[in-house]
Amino acid sequence: MTKATNFIDGVWREGSLGTLEMINPSYGTKIGEIARSGASDVDLAVRAANRAFSSVWKQTPAAERSRMLRKAADLLLHHADELAEIESADTGKPLRQAQNDARQIVRYLEFYAGAAEHIHGDTIPVSAEHLVFTKRVPLGVTGHIIPWNYPLQMTGRTLGAALAAGNATVLKPAEDACLAVVRAIELMSKAGFPPGVINLVTGTGEEAGQALADHPGIHHLAFTGSPEVGAHVMKCSAAHIRPVVLELGGKSPQVVFADADLERALPVLVNAIIQNAGQTCSAGSRVLVQQEIHDLLVERLADRFRSLAVGPADGNPDVGPLVSEKQLERVRTFVDEAVTAGAEIAAQATVDFAPSGSPSQSYPSPDSTSQSSHSLETLSPDSSAPDSSAPDFPSHGFFYPPTLLTHVDPQSTIARKEVFGPVLVVIPFRDEEEAIRLANDVEYGLVAAVWTENLGRAHRVADAIDAGQVYVNGYGAGGGVELPFGGMKKSGFGREKGFEALHEVTAVKTYVINKG
Ligand code: NAP
Ligand code: MG
């Protein structure tokens, strides 16, 4: 059981509003407590960050910032297995995926350690009498509100860029999963950052998040989460004329033409929607397929969906639980309403998980032909396994079977809204023109993929789709740490990752030196 507190001005402090319980979504059991923070905690953190920025951090050379980030990366790498175990238990993501996330936070800090020394301006040839040059200067204190789906990775990506550029930071992770973030901050805090440069305030969105969004002492706000809350924090920021970066998810299309290499595409199409149980902003949640191969592709996808292993995260299944009961209900409602509206369930995996000593929870699909290949009953749950003395929580985890939907009306809710669960819709198209129209006919524009062997068509379609990232014959959930990442339309604006992120957290300052 972990009891986590806030980290403010280099000191670990209790939250002013008490504590919040952390749940392991694989078993529905309590695994820890975090600080429940409010406006006074956030205020302490923002003040500490401002003091640290003006007194020391602003003057700290890039080479030193780089060295600290590198050291932080090394510390995290040294504890990667431990971080992965915490992340897996807290979010419900299969251990292997959490191990990847633990390596990714390391990569973010490594990348931004390198980048810190390459943030520079230009000289601008104006006239012989003037020397004009620009510098990229930090904004001051940056606020960071991150969600529960990739807590470790998001911490690395958002803090990495801000710290490399010389900002002091205040991070508010999500109440549903932040235990690994607390441990990561503890490790990072040993890398030599002056007190107040990294602050962590945990709690609910309505309390801690709102206080951060409202605080006048923040000079930039990076937000990842839902469009509704994104719009809200943008409004709060408008009151302070403060820039924001909003990363708000998507309904990302994978466009499969009849000439596509299906052997290559199939595992990628499936992985793009089951990774992290579909709770990924860049999940490939819509397959648009050319009419001629629609039935074949559905049949092949269906086979794969039925054979997916679903179970507790520590057993390393293909798909773990959703993060919370609320998320489970949300996904269930989406699918139930889609079916009522005429969609057909072409395939569903089977959730067959019985915690020791309790009856099996089984949700087979009506047409499911094969059982999960994973024998979940034989798992030996860890210390966070079901505790029959915990009456406040369900005795099983928050599992939803990966679901493949066909006969989906492109205008229906399931075809247009972000489900954030392992639910894939397949929609046919006739030709290139219709494929592009369908791909763009949603409010989002985060990621897309084009599958074709025709080079010209690959380029044409990639150009025509409105998305922040487009893949050809492949798919990356946002890609590596080096690739600029962010949305068009309601997927948000601003870019994280890569060098591009450094532009968001710096301002260009122009110097004009009169030589006369
Ligand atoms: P959310 O409410 O937008 O939460 C995202 C972050 O904002 C969390 O840290 C949350 O804190 C915080 N927050 C909530 N209300 C706030 C407020 N009034 N002021 C400041 N911060 C606030 O998203 P959610 O409820 O977790 O998930 C709902 C849906 O959003 C998902 O089903 C999915 O469709 C979408 N989503 C997208 C992403 C993405 O990666 N783009 C990530 C998560 C969710 P608490 O969680 O602690 O309350
Ligand atoms: Mg949890």
Which of the two residues, 374 and 149, has the higher pLDDT score? 149
**Which ligand lies nearest the alpha carbon of 232?**
1
Mean pLDDT score of the chain, rounded to an integer? 92
Do both 220 and 338 map to the same domain? Answer: no
Do both 159 and 266 map to the same domain? Answer: no
Nearest alpha carbon, ligand 1 atom 9: 174
Instruction: Say what the pLDDT of residue 478 is.
Output: 64
**Which ligand lies nearest the alpha carbon of 320?**
2
Instruction: Say what the pLDDT of residue 476 is.
Output: 87
pLDDT in tens, 203-257: 999 999 999 999 999 999 999 999 999 999 999 999 999 999 999 999 999 999 9
Give the number of domains in the chain.
Answer: 2
Contact of 101 with 84, CB cutoff 8 Å:
yes
Q: How far is the CA of 176 from the centre of ligand 2 (A)?
A: 5
Contact of 426 with 298, CB cutoff 8 Å:
yes
Do both 336 and 474 map to the same domain? Answer: yes
Do both 332 and 432 map to the same domain? Answer: yes
Nearest alpha carbon, ligand 1 atom 46: 174
Nearest alpha carbon, ligand 1 atom 25: 226
Atom of ligand 1 minimally distant from the CA of 210: 19
The answer as to whether 127 is a domain residue is yes
Q: What is the CATH number of the domain that holds 473?
A: 3.40.309.10
- HEC per residue, 81-142: HHHHHHHHHHHCCCHHHHHHHHHHHHHHHHHHHHHHHHCCCCEEEEECCEEEEEEEEECCEE
Ligand 1: lining residues by beta carbon, under 6 Å = 145-149, 172, 174-176, 204-206, 209-210, 213, 224-226, 229, 232-233, 247-249, 281, 330, 418, 420
Atom of ligand 1 minimally distant from the CA of 212: 20
Do both 8 and 129 map to the same domain? Answer: yes
> For 282-287, what is the mean pLDDT?
98
Range with lowest mean pLDDT among 49-53, 94-98, 208-212, 473-477: 473-477
Q: Which residues surround ligand 2, an ion (CB under 5 A)?
A: 22-23, 90, 177
The answer as to whether 164 is a domain residue is yes
Do both 228 and 197 map to the same domain? Answer: yes
Do both 275 and 174 map to the same domain? Answer: no
Do both 168 and 268 map to the same domain? Answer: no
Contact of 14 with 5, CB cutoff 8 Å:
yes
Do both 62 and 184 map to the same domain? Answer: yes
Nearest alpha carbon, ligand 1 atom 6: 147
Do both 210 and 300 map to the same domain? Answer: no
Do both 127 and 36 map to the same domain? Answer: yes
pLDDT tops 90 at residue 39: yes
List the helix and strand counts (H, then E) for the chain.
Answer: 15, 26
**Cα 220 from Cα 242, distance rounded (Å):** 6
Instruction: Say what the pLDDT of residue 396 is.
Output: 75
Contact of 314 with 382, CB cutoff 8 Å:
yes
**Cα 292 from Cα 181, distance rounded (Å):** 47
Q: What is the CATH number of the domain that holds 183?
A: 3.40.605.10
The answer as to whether 22 is a domain residue is yes
Do both 304 and 317 map to the same domain? Answer: yes
Instruction: Say what the pLDDT of residue 373 is.
Output: 27
In sequence order, the 6+-apart residues with CB closer than 8 A to the CB of 3 are 19, 32, 33
The answer as to whether 355 is a domain residue is no
Atom of ligand 1 minimally distant from the CA of 418: 34
pLDDT in tens, 412-439: 999 999 999 999 999 999 999 999 999 9
Contact of 327 with 415, CB cutoff 8 Å:
no
Q: Read off the pLDDT band of 357 (50, 70, 90).
A: very low
The answer as to whether 488 is a domain residue is no
Domain that holds residue 156: 2-248+493-514
pTM above threshold 0.75: yes
101, 145, 419, best to mutate for ligand 1 pocket (most atoms within 8 Å of CB): 145
Instruction: Say what the pLDDT of residue 395 is.
Output: 53
> For 130-157, what is the mean pLDDT?
98
The answer as to whether 382 is a domain residue is no
Active site residue 281: yes
> For 363-386, what is the mean pLDDT?
31
The answer as to whether 365 is a domain residue is no
Q: What tokens does 334 get?
A: 């989406």
The answer as to whether 361 is a domain residue is no
